[in-house]
Amino acid sequence: MSNKSILFSTRNSKDLSKKISSLYGESLGDINLIEFEDGEYEPSLVQSVRGMRVFLIGSTVPPADNLMELLLMCDAANRALAKEIILVIPYFGWARQDRKNKSRSPIGAKLVTNLIEASGATRVITMDLHAEQILGFFKIPIDHLYASKIFLKYVKDLNLQNITIATPDIGGANRIKNYANDLNADRVICYKERTKSNKIASIHLIGEVKGRHVILIDDIVDTAETITMAADLIKEQGANSVRALATHPVLSGNSYERIISSCLEELVVTDSLSIKRISSCKIKVLSCAALFADAISYTQ
């Protein structure tokens, strides 16, 4: 059997996939995708993958079409007798449904892992899972990458003094620990109370930020309500500046307007998801392509 590798991409991740494949040194394989009138679609791999190591790149941001497209491609590779099928999922969608938080609710993240395994995947490479317990949902190997490697270099290049690292909610307390240690910085925590999902009733600051350059760390920025409210609160408490680093720019609803009107100096994200091009210079995108290209190389 051949040891050759081949990379394919879903439609929504094509820009990032091109960067990854270029750094890896292989062109993307071709997908022939047939779309039916009722909304169904059928992706098929143009090149033979028999006996090969196949990498399928695609973030599974909602809607469910993006997840389904990746699963169908995986099933196609499996039925075409690929030797290995590695799913490269820069943004692992549905990860916020990592546990039952009320009666008769699903555990969406576990369901997604079951679907991935059932489709024939032999390994998964992903980045900054919302909840690390999802690693335990998988029965197949999973490589969990961290965007901190990208963000820490960016922060160090800013040459800021008196840095404080902050989390916009208490669930991110562990996430900021490595940043604070690496930058020899203080830590503060924002504590929020919700009335319902994506709706914050109040937010409070635990710690001192006066005269500091504060950097908020998060894994996902969705509606941007949490991160902008935290930034405004920190600025009110006397911080010299507030900027935010968030791995996955979901950016739904009125998120762009919230970011532009907030006191954030900038929001720095990765290209795990494509974002709209807007005139505001507050959103800066750093590529995670090299991180994934290296991880793909290490699987050889």
The full set of domain ranges for the chain reads 5-146+290-298, 148-271
Q: In the CATH scheme, what is the code of domain 148-271?
A: 3.40.50.2020
Kindly report the three-state secondary structure assignment for every residue of the chain.
Answer: CCCCEEEEECHHHHHHHHHHHHHHCCCECCEEEEECCCCCEEEEECCCCCCCEEEEECCCCCCHHHHHHHHHHHHHHHHCCCCEEEEEECCCCCCCCCCCCCCCCCCHHHHHHHHHHHCCCCEEEEECCCCHHHHHHCCCCEEEECCHHHHHHHHHHHCCCCEEEEECCHHHCCHHHHHHHHHCCEEEEEEEEEEECCEEEEEEEECCCCCCEEEEEEEEECCCHHHHHHHHHHHHCCCCEEEEEEEEECCCCCHHHHHHHCCCCCEEEECCCCCCCCCCCCEEEECCHHHHHHHHHHCC
Q: What is the pLDDT of residue 279?
A: 61
- Averaged over 39-46, what is the pLDDT? 95
- Averaged over 182-197, what is the pLDDT? 83
pLDDT at 199 exceeding the cut of 90: no
Poorest-confidence range of 129-133, 177-181, 256-260, 279-283?
A: 279-283
- Averaged over 28-42, what is the pLDDT? 95
Greater confidence, 18 or 206?
Answer: 18
Greater confidence, 171 or 47?
Answer: 47
Distance in Å from the first CA to the final CA of the chain: 15
Q: What is the pLDDT of residue 120?
A: 98
pLDDT at 137 exceeding the cut of 90: yes
From the list 14, 102, 149, 192, the catalytic residue is: 192
pLDDT classification of 1: cutoffs 50, 70, 90: very low
Q: What is the pLDDT of residue 273?
A: 96
Find where tokens 């507030």 sit: 242
What topology is assigned to 5-146+290-298 in CATH? Answer: Rossmann fold (3.40.50)
Same topology, domains 5-146+290-298 and 148-271? Answer is yes
Poorest-confidence range of 13-17, 111-115, 204-208, 237-241?
A: 204-208
Contact predicate 245/218, CB 8 Å? yes
Greater confidence, 281 or 105?
Answer: 105
Q: List, in order, residues 6 or more apart from 36 with CB less than 8 Å away.
A: 42
Q: What is the pLDDT of residue 215?
A: 98
Contact predicate 176/218, CB 8 Å? no
Q: What is the pLDDT of residue 173?
A: 86
Q: What is the pLDDT of residue 49?
A: 97
pLDDT at 201 exceeding the cut of 70: no
192 is catalytic: yes
Q: What is the pLDDT of residue 202?
A: 74
Greater confidence, 203 or 196?
Answer: 203
Please state whether the predicted TM-score (pTM) of the whole model is above 0.85.
Answer: yes
